[in-house]
Amino acid sequence: MSFCDDTLLCNFPKCRTKLSGFAWVTACSHAFCDQHGSGEFSRSPAICPACSSALSGKLDIVRTELSPSEEYKAMVLAGLRPDVILDISARALAFWSYQVHQERMFQEYSLSRAEAQLKQMDKVVTQQNQSREVELSGMRGEIASLKKVMEEYKRKYSEVSERLMERNRQYQKLQGLYDSLRLRNMVVGAGDRDMLPQPGRNDYNIGVARQGTPQRSPQFLSVAPGGDGRFFSCLEADGAKNFFQYSSPARERGRPYINKH
C-alpha cells in the first residue's frame, strides 16, 4: 500500500480485509474492520489485538466513518485555529504513514517468510532430487543387469527353439518312416493271408492227389559207380514201408534176439 492508495487493511492478524464503511481506530495507530472491532473492543479492559496495548482512555478507541458526508467534512474542523487544523491533519497523516509503514513491514516479513520457506523447500527438493538420482542410478544399474539377463534368456530361448525345431524335424522324419513301414507290413500281411491254404479245399486236393498217384516200386541206387552193392530206396516213406512188409513172418520169428550193450 502506498500514499496514493485510498484503502486501509484490517490489522487483525487473521483478517487482512480492506476497510469500508466504518472502521475502529486506536491510539496505538491500528485500524480494524467493524466486525472484529465490535467483537474485540466490547470487552473491558480493551486490548489492541495487533500490539496487545491496553486501551483504557475514553478516546483511545474511536469508531469512525471512512467515507463521511460533505456536511461532516464542512463542519468537523470549522472554527478551529489553523495550527490546530494543521496539528490534526499532521496526526492524521502520521496515522496514515504508520499504516503504510506497517503494511510495508508486514509485506517484507511475509516476503522474508516466503523466501525462507522457498529456501527450505529448495533444500528439501534438492535432497529429494539427490535421493531420486541415487535411486535412478541404482534402477539404471538394475535395468542394465536385467537387460543382460534378458539377452541371455533370449539366447537360450533361441538355442532351445532351434533344438526343438530339429527334434520336430527328426520326429516328422521318424513318423514318416514309421508310417511307411507300417503300411508295408500291412500290405505284406494281407498278401500272406491271401497265400495261406484254405482248410477244406486243401484237404480235398491232397486226398485227390493221393488217390490219383500210383504207388511206385522201389528203385535200386548204386553206392559207387562200379560197385555191386545196391540198396532199396523209394521216394516216399510209405512206399518203403509197404515194400519191406513182404518179408516172411517165419523168418522174422526165427531170427535170434541180439542184445547189444
pLDDT along the chain (261 residues), means of 10: 65 88 91 90 85 86 90 89 94 92 89 94 92 92 94 94 94 93 86 61 50 47 45 44 47 47 46
pLDDT of residue 241: 47
pLDDT of residue 176: 92
Rounded distance, CA 244 to CA 241, Å?
5
pLDDT of residue 53: 87
Q: Does the reported pTM lie above 0.85? A: no
Rounded distance, CA 39 to CA 57, Å?
18
Residues ≥6 apart with Cβ < 8 Å to 191: none
**Cis amide prior to 45 (ω within 30 degrees):** yes
* DSSP 8-state code for residue 67: S
Phi/psi of residue 123, nearest 5 degrees: -65, -45
